[in-house]
Structure 1
Amino acid sequence: MRTELITIPTPTLPLDGAFHWPDDRPIRGAVLLFHGNTMNFYTGAPRFLPRALTRLGLACLAFNRRGHDILSIRDSRAAEGAAFQLTHEAIEDNALAARWLAARGHDAPIVIGHSNGGMLAVPHVVAHPQTPCLVLLSAHAGGRQNENVSRIGLFAGERFAEIKAQAEALVAAGRGRELIVLPHWWYVTSAEAFIDRTTQLPNTLELAPRITCPVLYVRGDQEPAAHYPAEAFQARAGGPCDVEIVPDCDHFYKGREDAVAAIVAGWLSQRLGLAAD
């Protein structure tokens, strides 16, 4: 495959990314790749999937949302990253990336999202009903699940109520971008991002009936079904939905990247009639 580093403008910070396309065969379609929370376009699924997908003739756009990594800087010492992420910006970023692809002749790309990117992929596909296929890689349940996530030792953990009150007080005082240390992943967040995370996330299962395109929902066998609800989504989906549970596999597919890539490529090949030459 060939790769070009690209930049997508937004109303505030630009989105950096990589556009991959097959070097030895015609382009037969395109894919939008949405990264997981605090991740980026060069780690996880957006990194390991393009090699398999370009063999099917699919061009792939992997890009950073404004909420990438945890904290970062760009061309100054001004902080950016997932500590400041807001749901409406993430949804807008995905739409802008789709527009970038459409301007290059790919106006109905396949959508693939991992974890938080999978949760965000669901409302994106609702808003883009021409999407031919959706692949959810350990997409989380969304909605108001962060208190439940805290109970299993993530996010604010046992300090959820305390930190929520702190965040609410900072936002009320006009200090929404002030940082708060979290006891667990993702370790640090702004007050307004904490409140956004607990009140504004799309609900994956509530939106499932509005997804009518074919869906593949992948989950590792080490992931709790309550938080990554493949079977529940399948039961509620408005169209066909296949579920694959990958054995010996965690949330990040560590050591199982090839298996996941083969599942995704094989399913897309069957659904769309694409064959690797």
Structure 2
Amino acid sequence: MPTEQITIETARGYELAGSLELPTGLVRGAALFAHCFTCTKQSKAAVEVTRALARQGIACLRFDFTGLGGSGGDFGRAGFASDVEDLVVSANHLCERFGGQILLIGHSLGGAAVLAAADMIGRDRVAAIATIGAPADVPHVLGNIKGDLDAIERDGSGEVTIGGRAFHLSREFLDKTRAIDLPAEVARLKLPILIAHSPTDGTVGIENASQLFEAARHPKSFISLAGADHLLTNVEDAHFVADMIAAWGARYIPMRQDWPLPEKGVVVCSGNGKFGTEVHTPSHRFVADEPRSYGGDDTGPTPYDLLLAALGTCTAMTMKMYADRKGLPFEGARVAVTHERDHGKDCDHCEDEGSQVQALHRTITLLGDDLSAEQRDKLIEIADKCPVHRTLEGHLHIHTVHED
């Protein structure tokens, strides 16, 4: 996905570092992702979920909370309340840029934060909320801190270790983290909620999901991430939850009705990234791109891929139509097509000496053991008569007009 690096200024005077994953084509909506406790925007869950949403046409922002990753501020003094403030300012940034309502998505403590931030962002700006492995009891995260919390309460600050990393925490951090009653916050929400949790989560137990689900109002949904660990370190688990949230979220950010679906032919719109484009037919949409080796983002087939696919698919369809009409024991075909830019073996088609001749090489494998040799020969003959084949070998003229 095309990724834009952005910074968001906070009311406290420092900047949050964010990565905005953009769809290759047009933008249908926007989403905000909150990472887990002491993680960063580069966590596996953050990257996979935001990119899965971008593939669905939803621009998705992941950012580093105060004092983490590339963001400014002091993590040791921030606490949960600061995470909520970061989410509000980031959500406002997204809404101002893209308009309309956004999805809120949070992993672990980030999930608790999006639930707590929703009302502050405003129900007119939030379409729905999804959480992954979120705790129902926010102070629960303090149990993951290795250090003398009593000494911090007494002295005002102290050194601790979280996830193997050293941090300097203040009494203010502990107070802010203990102050939230998340189930009560969830009960007040009147928004669609999706709760994803693993019954084998050894960090935040599945009972947390039960408490949040019980507190939430309908419409509410639950997805079991059976076998996954808390941080979604298995990429297959990260892909699964990302695709589930993307599919669920599309229900609440519906396809824009003003997209250029033509009555006939196709419309191609330049998109995000260097080469990415979006193709619209009367009833479908998909993206095309160039590979990374050519400077693209590799988010879709190349223009030549589409050209070869046109010949291959038309060939297979034409043979199937003929076989059905004639009642042949035809079970399908595999059609492989490649492109050769400088075809020098056979220059019978050259009109001028030295001109470049390009060629498409098509290999057809017929499926069906009961086909006779005569039937196979006829099907290959029919393949050469497919409409796209005739168009490519005919005298094709391309007429271009300019419209303001």
Superposition TM-score tier, normalisation by shorter sequence: 0.7 to 0.9
The one of 94, 99, 102 aligned to 1:101: 94
Alignment of 1:13-24 (within 5 A): 13-24=14-25
Q: Does 1:116 align with 2:109?
A: yes
**2:127 corresponds to which letter in structure 1?**
P
> Could you list the per-position Cα deviations for residues 68-93 of structure 1 after superposition, in whole angstroms to 9, with x for gaps in the alignment?
25xx897xxxxx55334323322211
1:77 alignment counterpart? none
Q: Check if 1:233 corresponds to 2:212.
A: yes
What CA distance in whole angstroms lies between the structure 1 residues aligned with 2:71 and 2:215? 41
For 1:52, the equivalent position in structure 2 comes to: 52
- Shift in alpha-carbon separation, 1:181–1:196, aligned structure 2, 3 A: same
State the partner residue of 1:38: 38
In structure 2, distance between residues paired with 1:15 and 1:111? 17
Higher relative contact order (CA 8 A, sep 6+): 1
Q: How does 1:51-90 map to 2 (within 5 A)?
A: 51-68=51-68, 82-90=75-83
Could you say what secondary structure the match of 2:145 adopts?
coil
SS in 2 for 1:37: coil
5+ long unaligned stretches in structure 2: 256-283, 287-404
Structure 2 SS opposite 1:139:
coil
3-state secondary structure, aligned to 1:39? coil
After superposition, the Cα gap between the structure-2 partners of 1:169 and 1:232, relative to the gap in structure 1 and judged at 3 Å, is: closer
Provide the rounded CA distance (Å) in 2 between the counterparts of 1:198 and 1:53: 30
Contact 2:111 2:132 in 1 (8 A): yes
Instruction: Please give the residue correspondences for 1:105-184 in structure 2 after superposition, counting only pairs within 5 Å.
Output: 105-127=98-120, 128-130=122-124, 131-146=126-141, 150=143, 154-156=144-146, 163-171=148-156, 176=157, 179-182=158-161
TM-score normalized by structure 2?
0.57
Question: Once the 2 structures are TM-superposed, how far is the Cα of residue 106 of structure 1 from its aligned partner?
Answer: 2.8
Q: Give the aligned length.
A: 252
Q: CA deviation at 1:228?
A: 5.9
Q: Is the 8 A contact 1:34 1:113 kept in 2?
A: yes
Between structure 1 and structure 2, the one with the greater Rg is: 2
The answer to whether structure 1 residue 219 and structure 2 residue 209 are counterparts is no
- Structure 2 SS opposite 1:190: strand
CA contact (8 A) 2:79 2:173 kept: no
Structure 2 residue 5 is matched with structure 1 residue 12? no
C-alpha contact 1:141 1:229 (8 A) present in aligned 2: yes
Alpha-carbon distance between aligned partners in 2 of 1:223 and 1:12, rounded to the nearest angstrom? 37
Q: Go from structure 1 to structure 2 and tell me whether the alpha carbon gap of 1:81 and 1:219 turns closer, same or farther (over 3 Å shift).
A: farther
Structure 2 distance, partners of 1:231, 1:207, is 15
Pick closer, same or farther for the CA change 1:9–1:98 going to 2, 3 Å.
same
**Structure 1 residue 102, shift from structure 2 partner:** 2.2
